[in-house]
Structures are given as C-alpha cells and as structure tokens.
Amino acid sequence: MKRFACRPGSILLPISALPISTLPISALLVIALLASACGDHRAAAPAEAPATQAPPAAVSGTAPEDTGDTPALDYAMLNPAAPMEGVVTGGQPTDADLDKLAARGFRTVVSLRTAGEVDEAAEQAKIESLGMRFVQVPIAGPADLTEANARKLAGLLDDAAQRPLLLHCGSSNRVGALVALASFYADGASPEDALRLGKAAGLSRLEPAVRERLGLEPGAQP
C-alpha cells in the first residue's frame, strides 16, 4: 500500500481529486481518518520557541570619580601630606600651590618658618590676596619646641573656622615635630600615638628632640 505524507496546511492525496459522489463509503472513511491524523499531527507539533533576548552588552567607561574625603596632594611643596582632617602639611608652598589651595577652599596658611628664612611679607601678601589668612608660629629648632608653642598650634588646628588649613615649614620636619607635641600636650594623646602622628606630618631630623619631650626612649619604635 502506498504511503502518503501529511503536509502542513493541506491534505494532498491523489484520491481526494476524485469527485466525492463517485467514491465508495469505504474510501470516504479512509479520507476522513487521514484528515484526522494530519490534524492531530499539526496540533501535536511543538510551538516554535520564542527567541531569547541576548543580555545587554557591558557598558565600558571610566571608573566613577572618587568622592571620598581624601584631599588632593598634587602640590610642588616638599612632603605634602594630610595627617588630619582638614589639614594639609608640607614644605614651603609655591605660588602655584597657594593658587590651588585657594581654589580648593582653604582658609588659612600657618607658617612655622622664622623671619629671614623666606620673604614672609611677600608670602603673606600673596596669601591674603587670595582671600586666605596668614599665621606665623616661628620655630627655629629644638629650643622652640615648647609646650606653649604646641598649645598655640593646637588652638589653630582645633578651630573649625580656620580649616581647611595648610601647615608648613621648609621641609615639614618642624611641622611634624610641633604636631606631635600639640597632640600630646593639648589633645592628651599617648606618647606613642603622638609620635606616629608627627611622623605622618613629616617629622624627621627633630625626632630625638620630640622623643625626649614625650618621654620616649631614643630609637624605640612607637
């Protein structure tokens, strides 16, 4: 017996081309059965799976800008650092440094340099022309690392109206020394913590003098 395949959408059988009136009842039953089988075949055919959407491509770009509180330290001065909130320490600032500080909203510049080291009048004029305040606490060497000077500096550092603030000397060595003593005398920091803060602010050659005032053994690690 010849087999006939069902085609989607229609039943194409040679026998169906004959006039129905000429077909015997048995032939009509066969046609009906075949039509039913093809219909079942079409119904059972799985629906076409919907196209899956490709995941979106990753968007490339630059990393988000850092919005933290760490201040920029792109200055020409020696040893710029930010050991305390609202305070930048370092060596002698250049005019370009002062311009940057003013543009970044700094309010005060505290110099530990003595008269004759630099032209303090010119520095003060430049600072004040930029709308900042100039304060001088002269520290010539170990003899000036006194409790009185340390407390004077602490008063400036603790005054929120003075910050943001730049604290500088020639290289930041004297800055670190006086910061350590201010922390010890005025803020009640332990000798070890005070020395660590001083080093973060630039303390170097004056460390033996600072250790002596803090009551620390020479060369002992804080």
Within this chain, do residues 101 and 189 fall inside the same structural domain, yes or no? yes
In the numeric block, the tokens 């032209």 are attached to 119
Pair 105, 156 in one domain: yes
Single pTM value for the model: 0.69
* pLDDT higher than threshold 60 for residue 173: yes
Q: Tell me whether residue 203 is in a domain.
A: yes
Q: d(Cα 4, Cα 203) in Å, to the nearest integer?
A: 100
Closest CA to 184 of 194, 175, 192: 194
Strands 87-90 and 81-84: antiparallel
| DSSP code at position 22 | G
In 63-137 the beta strands, taken as DSSP E runs, fall at 81-84, 87-90, 108-111, 133-136
The answer as to whether 149 is a domain residue is yes
Indicate whether 86 and 38 sit together in one domain: no
Same-domain status, 209 and 111 = yes
The predicted model gives 38-67 an average pLDDT of: 40
Note whether 99 and 179 are same-domain residues: yes
Shared domain for 95 and 33, answered yes or no, is: no
Q: Say which CATH number the domain at 129 has.
A: 3.90.190.10
Q: Evaluate whether residue 63 is within a structural domain.
A: no
Pairing verdict, β 108-111 and 81-84: unpaired
State pLDDT tens for residues 76-120: 999 999 999 999 999 999 999 999 999 999 999 999 999 989 999
Question: Collapsing DSSP states into helix, strand and coil, what is residue 127?
Answer: helix
Identify the domain containing residue 127 by its residue range.
Answer: 81-214
Q: How confident is the model at residue 185 (pLDDT cuts 50, 70, 90)?
A: very high
Question: Is 67 contained in some domain?
Answer: no
In a domain? residue 191: yes
Joined together, the tokens standing for residue 25 give: 């009842």
* Structural domain includes residue 3: no
- Looking at the structure, do residues 105 and 183 belong to the same domain, yes or no? yes
Residues 24 and 115 in one domain: no
Asked if residue 142 and residue 36 are part of one domain, the reply reads: no
How many independent structural domains does the chain possess? 2
Question: 52 to each of 58, 74, 168, how far by Cα in Å?
Answer: 18, 51, 64
Query: Looking at 113-198, which runs of residues are DSSP E strands?
Result: 133-136, 165-168
Sign of CA dihedral 204, 142, 172, 184: positive
Instruction: Say if 198 falls within a structural domain.
Output: yes
CB 162 within 8 A of CB 87: no
